[in-house]
A and B are shown apart, each in its own frame.
Chain A
Amino acid sequence: MFYDTIQNSDSLKAAADSAGAENSLAGLANNLTFDISKIGTDGIIISVIGYVIVFMALLTLFFFIKNLTKLLHLNLRKKLSAQGRQVEQKDLDIPGEIAAAISTAITLHYQEVHDFENTIVTIKKVQKPYSPWSSKIYGLRQTPLRK
């Protein structure tokens, strides 16, 4: 309906017609003066409606995202309230800095191999199967560590 109104609007049609007539850019160059009357009501309507729709689109997204977290935490909050723990939404929102600190701590924990070194230290006998074709094996060093 709105599109039809815009399509049928006289001033925009006139603008489109005049665009055909003076669409040659050179012609336009000679006609470049700032004149508010050239805007027309339709120009204003397009601007206002356009801006409002942009706001509406992003406002809709805003409301969706705002409530998404609450929806996702609904189950968790039910479980916690069944345990007799009342928690607010803000308590479930972990700040990114804290999440980063926890992640870093866990990573360091798993990378810190010295605390969990294999304490079984044995000397393993290196197999040296004899073959006349590989007799040089006795002259070569074999590393005991095998991964």
Chain B
Amino acid sequence: MEILQQLAESFTTFFQYTGFANITIGHAIMIVIGLVFIYLGIAKEYEPLLLVPIGFGILVGNIPFFENAGLQLGIYEEGSVLNYLYYGVTKGIYPPLIFLGIGAMTDFSALLSNPKLMLLGAAAQVGIFLTFIAALALGFPAEHAAAIGIIGGADGPTAIFLSSKLAPELIGAIAIAAYSYMALVPVIQPPIINLLTSPEERKMKMKPPRSVSRLEKILFPIVGLLLTTFISPGGLPLLGMLFFGNLLKESGVTRRLADTSSKALIDIVTLLLGLTVGASTQATTFLTPQSILIFVLGAVSFAIATAGGILFAKFMNLFLKGDNKLNPMIGAAGVSAVPDSARVVQHLGLKDDPSNHLLMHAMAPNVSGVIGSAVAAGILLSLLMRVV
């Protein structure tokens, strides 16, 4: 009889530690969201390199367990493996490494051949600052508002970097929102582009970019670093790594380093970042009204940024003549979701005119947007870090 009682007690104790005993409605919701991310990544191929690790991370982070039992399992439990890996997110270590890889993969030729397109990348940053104001109006503290606004830059690493410094408690929601919108660029941007441009504007052809010399390509990362970081030193970790990676690529003499940065290193960091960001959505910590509001504000920010780029391209056209005029659609690529937004513009261009290839032109504001959002992050960091 005693044995049976002991067995029953053991089973009860064991059951308390299982996921079935600890599941909440929040866990179930997050697991469904994780499955949706994985589905979108695999079946629809929406940014699978982001959505699959994040989606699986959401599953990992939302397996219910007996919290505060000293098991050191959860991402928020000090000493757990996931917590160590998450350290790279909370301390802003992963974003500069990602930027190193992006720099080593990015070809700035399109931008160098038509530098006025750089202004489109600046114009699209309007989303960051308008959302900052909107978040302030909603009662968020200034540093939280800045971290939320940066989602409009459509740059996951920059959003993580800034929120790790200004609003560590919101980092999970901001990272998920930023990466989700980056992955959903093909869904979010086309309606805005179609709304703000006429069929004639979408059919506009742009003159082919000129060829760029090797010397120009080598000088750009050096001068780019000096100019941008002297203006906005707060963006140094991101801009420094971006331009360093690009110099490794363009110098032509450090091929091994460029290869490692653009392949092995960025792959490792991406999978660690994706998994831990996904796992940070542990329902008990993540599912709050603020997270939902951050998602909404992020979408607004992204939409404003897209519209800002398009409208500024139209504004520039007022001063440009002949074949120098811009197809306003490329303004949408001013958000720094590289290369997704440029691909969207190319796709839409081909839809209206199968001979109109806009990819190279759209890549210019796209890479300029990366620089612009990193500069914006640096400025917000400099202005708000001391206030906190």
Q: Which residues of A contact B (CB under 8 A)?
A: 3, 6-7, 12-13, 15-16, 18-19, 23, 25-26, 28-29, 31-36, 38-40, 42-44, 46-51, 53-62, 64-66, 68-69, 72, 93-99
Contacts and interface: CB of A to CB of B under 8 A. Distances in A.
A61 B136 contact: no
A135 B27 CA distance: 80
B212 to A, nearest CB: 8
Interface string B140-175: 111111000000000000000000000001000000
B19 interface: no
Interface of B: 109, 111-113, 115-116, 118-119, 121-123, 125-126, 128-130, 132-134, 136-145, 169, 207-211, 213, 215-216, 219-220, 223-224, 227-228, 231-232, 288-290, 293, 360, 368, 371-372, 375-376, 379-380, 382-384, 386-388
Contacts, number: 173
Most buried by B among A23, A35, A40, A65: A65
Contact of B380 (A40, A50, A58, A98): A50
SS class, residues of chain B in contact with chain A: helix
8 tightest Cβ-Cβ pairs between the two chains A and B: A19-B141, A99-B211, A65-B115, A93-B210, A47-B129, A58-B122, A29-B289, A43-B136
Contacts of B109: 96
19 contacts: A6-B386, A6-B387, A7-B387, A12-B387, A29-B290, A32-B293, A40-B136, A47-B132, A50-B128, A54-B375, A55-B123, A60-B227, A66-B115, A68-B112, A93-B210, A94-B210, A94-B211, A95-B211, A96-B208
SS class, residues of chain A in contact with chain B: helix
A23 B141 contact: yes
